[in-house]
Chain A
């Protein structure tokens, strides 16, 4: 597997692994059948993501995208957090092999799922946020093998 140095760095030394006891929002996406599950914990105060943690079951890219996504979301306002796309996660990691692009989609979805949980708990509406889809990886299109 051709991973960039950044991906390998975030896999070997993942940032923000763990749980947040009194998290403001928790989101879990993916399923074990497909081999990827991401669980993201967010601590949100005054509309700002103060802390983010994750636990991930999955391949090197799944761990690295979880690590990078939680890095990117920390310190952001909720609206800024909404703008973190899978593309942004990929770019921050200097790219992913085509077969691993779905991991970055899962990371974006995990952030959204945690934000959705936060919004639900607090009875607020976050602009542009939709209810997370479970098992998104089952609907992913896999690029043809070369």
Chain B
């Protein structure tokens, strides 16, 4: 039995989505740019999927451009604006808890003469509108703040930042890879100019994403070539991926009214039970303004990879912000940004639930996790000191 608690990393493709995609591999394989019937049929199917994506975020259909994933969408939005608006200025505002697809893109632009302000966050991971306002300069061309954080699940004040950016006439991009299909999004009401998403984060396939670009915004293409995507993103369309992502978005948004409260209840049950059962543990991220399926907890005196290995032995798939799982000496930049000292960041575990998570599975984690923490603590020289000092 597998207990999948890593839905923020990727999700299982829904069976009905995989089924809808299947015929586009073997039967309806035509290139949408060709003129014969099987190709034209695909062009229609791609446009239908574009409509499904637009409906999911309340944009116009022709404001949606398909990409190969969330990272490409982030790269395109930021580099595209940087290049086409360079005459206006070279200053970008972002936060220090962004996904690396945004952070490393900004760092790259710094090597090309751009200036980037990395806004701090509070202890819950929230960006403050006041900080955004203070960071704005005459030469600011872009504000890019994530919709919701992938590690700690904190949902940012997107509407407030959007309203401010619109008023100032500064472009506003949001990396909504963790948010689309999980919380309501309305690009019009929230004054979002550009938004990145990724199919496999909401039960669609991997290798497909989209960038919403509000009508009238000119951004330089990232991928040059053919005239696909209205000449803004070249390359033969990933037809099965597009069909899958479109259907997955439609289903996710349709089910939001039931899924949000269901997952929120499961999340809070998991968080509260673990915090209650395990001493020296704390919740990372905002207690209320957080993604419905995200729980991120730090356990003091032990290290995250060890926890993951023992969870894996029990069939539970999870992730950690420990350095040992990141491939460097430093733990997660997000956990450090919310003020966690290194040692507490090393002992973090992220458990992310989704469409296929059941209450029985949550109960199983609540049962199995505390003894794992206890077992590792009994092995820890740091915990030994705590126990001795207590006695």
Contacts and interface: CB of A to CB of B under 8 A. Distances in A.
Nearest 6 Cβ contacts at the A-B interface: A32-B343, A59-B324, A59-B305, A39-B381, A55-B381, A35-B346
A99 B327 contact: yes
Contacts of A28: 381
A65 interface: no
Interface stretch (A12-20, A42-50, A121-129): A12-20
B379 A63 contact: yes
Contacts of B341: 33
Contacts of B328: 142, 145
Interface in B377-391: 378-384
A60 interface: yes
B32 interface: no
Contacts of A32: 342-343, 346, 382
A37 B381 contact: yes
Contacts of A37: 380-382
A34 interface: yes
Interface of A: 1, 8, 11-12, 14, 17, 19, 28, 32-39, 55-63, 99-100, 137-138, 140, 142, 145
B301 interface: yes
A26 B325 CA distance: 29
B349 interface: no
Given A55-B380, A57-B380, A57-B381, A35 B302 contact: no
B204 interface: no
Interface in B335-350: 341-343, 346
Contacts of B329: 34-35, 137-138, 140, 142
Contacts of B383: 57
A56 B380 contact: yes
Interface residues of B, number: 28
B322 interface: yes
Contacts of B378: 17
Contacts of B384: 19, 39, 55
Contact of B305 (A12, A14, A60, A145): A60
11 contacts: A28-B381, A32-B343, A35-B303, A35-B329, A39-B384, A55-B379, A55-B381, A57-B303, A57-B380, A59-B303, A63-B379
Contacts of A11: 306, 309
Contact of B306 (A19, A34, A59, A100): A59
A62 B303 contact: yes
B170 to A, nearest CB: 35
B112 to A, nearest CB: 23
Contact of B327 (A58, A140, A145): A145
B313 A12 contact: yes
A51 to B, nearest CB: 17
B331 interface: yes
Q: Taking each of B301, B329, B382, which has the highest tally of chain A beta carbons within 10 Å of its own beta carbon? A: B329
Nearest to B322: A35
B386 to A, nearest CB: 12
A142 to B, nearest CB: 6
A56 B379 contact: yes
A17 to B, nearest CB: 5
Given A58-B306, A59-B305, A62-B303, A35 B381 contact: no
Contacts of B310: 12
B323 interface: yes
A17 B384 CA distance: 12
Interface in B242-259: none
Interface string B131-159: 00000000000000000000000000000
Contact of A35 (B309, B327, B331, B379): B331
A35 B382 contact: no
Contacts of B380: 37, 55-57
